[in-house]
Chain A
């Protein structure tokens, strides 16, 4: 049973870089595609992007210029970096994966980590 746990600073200052880690247990990061999804308070879910350890990656056009995702096979972790953050990036950030459909049909989710952007 794959388990995911997001971690990172709960507070980030405007214009700085948000860095989150998704720790994977019960499976290898080499196995699946890893996706990031966020949900601003009281708003809709938003897909950020995905990455595979092979290097295959894609991200939302609205965030592409600011997003960087990495897979660390030695630590069995996935990371997300989002640069030049603003208050609009305040959200619950989820790491998710799928054993069903690559990079979609997310049947495994972390519990999420709340990130606030504020000075």
Chain B
């Protein structure tokens, strides 16, 4: 069975600084990896995904993530944080095309002006 760990409940970063939100995963086959963002009282918005190909994937709003197979990680990054990036971020994984996503518990990102 697949699982996702987001080790940090909260990440605080100053505006303009780089940010990293951590994610590690466990699957039995090749992973399909995703990041979603949830703003207060809103649904989940898709940010980016890794299915195959380049280990560095770029997504919406300037976010990117790096797939590291040996460390089973898929950390979310952004070079320069904005206050408007403050939200709840979810990492998700599945191991086969037809299985539903399994989500991590979420990491709350707070960007301070």
Do the two shown chains form a genuine complex with each other?
no
